[in-house]
């Protein structure tokens, strides 16, 4: 893998904008966005579900379906208005979310009979490219490798923060998944606790490596794409009709353990999956993608994997989380995972 350069630019609000690239970024900045009020989120404990809920009232003010001529994630120096990135070009950019659900400015709120905490942590935006329409499916393989390198760097840096207990890079794609800005981007949440889903995964992996079990027992039945280092498959216990997981063939806690060959193979198979979804629907497929890694850099039980959830039931019909899913957390499926795998395999090869 080529060497990755990182430039740190201090914004007018004293937060850091990171510019990553194969080329060293030397450009001077243009105009910046005006200063805005700082988000001061807090958390409340839900005793019925035994989980934290975070509250950030400023999120209602976030940029929401801006006019087509205005994109806050495009290079601002090329436009007649400032954006989040005050330069004329960049490869990958990372900066703090202005409407964060977790940040270092979190306040504690006292509410009678309710257990509360400051919502410490970080929320970052990862802009994949300066190109307004360059999605993971459209980017070069080399650019996807750069993005993987950015994820690795953010894992290592954010885990150094005392308040941070878990890192989740993710991407929401499509209006069906709540996306309001269409410039290709993802996010990274650095939580002050281990999220409930990950906590269950940690406990499950301590009992057995169920991913390795799937690979060994049902690779041919459920796979949609595979290479020397990774398998993309429909999990036999999928909760979404066209859910896909990308799993390494060897047990590793996170992408920071990839060697160069694995980085290349990972980039290839991510693109195969996203391209396959788009070919299957004959349009840009909506999905939620998340990287599930260990909360620790060294871990000999957790098996890193990537999960894709397209909110689809049949074809492009939406999967709505109805009574059983929303109220009881029990998913009801009408499409068998082995049938989904057969269908998607045709498009993801």
Q: Give the active site residue among 42, 182, 183, 185.
A: 185
185 is catalytic: yes
278-314 burial, b at 16+ Cβ within 10 Å, e below that, comes to bebbeebbbbbbbbbbbbeeebeebbbbbbbbbbbbe
SS3 307: strand
In sequence order, what DSSP letters do the residues of 220-261 get, joined into one string? HHHEEEE-SSEEEE--TT-SSTT-EEEEESS--SSGGG--HH
Of 270, 19, 227, nearest to 139 by C-alpha is 270
With a CB cutoff of 8 Å and minimum separation 6, the contacts of 128 are 92, 134, 135, 136, 139, 143, 147, 184, 185, 186
Instruction: Count CA within 13 A, CB hemisphere, residue 121.
Output: 29
What are the catalytic residues? 185
């Amino acid at each position: 893998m080529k060497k990755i350069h990182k430039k740190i630019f201090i914004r007018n609000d004293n937060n850091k904008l990171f510019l990553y690239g194969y080329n060293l970024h030397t450009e001077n900045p243009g105009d910046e966005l005006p200063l805005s009020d700082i988000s001061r989120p807090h958390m409340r404990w839900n005793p019925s579900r035994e989980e934290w809920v975070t509250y950030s009232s400023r999120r209602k003010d976030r940029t929401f379906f801006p006019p087509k001529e205005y994109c806050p994630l495009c290079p601002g120096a090329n436009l007649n208005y400032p954006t989040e990135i005050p330069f004329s070009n960049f490869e990958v950019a990372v900066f703090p979310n202005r409407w964060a659900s977790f940040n270092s400015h979190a306040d504690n709120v006292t509410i009678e009979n309710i257990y509360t905490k400051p919502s410490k942590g970080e929320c970052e935006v990862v802009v994949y490219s300066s190109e307004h329409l360059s999605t993971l499916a459209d980017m070069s393989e080399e650019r996807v490798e750069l993005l993987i390198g950015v994820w690795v760097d953010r894992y290592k840096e954010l885990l150094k923060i005392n308040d941070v207990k878990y890192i989740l890079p993710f991407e929401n794609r499509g209006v069906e998944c709540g996306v309001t800005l269409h410039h290709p981007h993802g996010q990274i949440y650095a939580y002050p606790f281990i999220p409930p889903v990950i906590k269950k995964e940690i406990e499950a992996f301590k009992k057995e490596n169920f991913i390795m079990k799937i690979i060994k027992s049902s690779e041919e039945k459920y796979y949609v794409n595979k290479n020397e280092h990774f398998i993309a498959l429909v999990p036999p216990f999928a909760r979404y009709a066209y859910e896909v997981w990308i799993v390494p063939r060897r047990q590793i806690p996170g992408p920071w353990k990839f060697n160069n060959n694995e980085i290349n193979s990972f980039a290839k198979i991510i693109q195969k999956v996203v391209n396959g979804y788009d070919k299957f629907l004959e349009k840009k497929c909506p999905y939620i993608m998340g990287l599930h890694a260990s909360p620790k850099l060294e871990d000999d039980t957790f098996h890193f994997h990537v999960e894709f959830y397209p909110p689809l039931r049949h074809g492009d019909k939406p999967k709505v989380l109805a009574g059983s899913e929303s109220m009881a957390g029990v998913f009801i499926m009408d499409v068998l995972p082995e049938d989904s795998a057969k269908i998607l395999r045709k498009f993801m090869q």
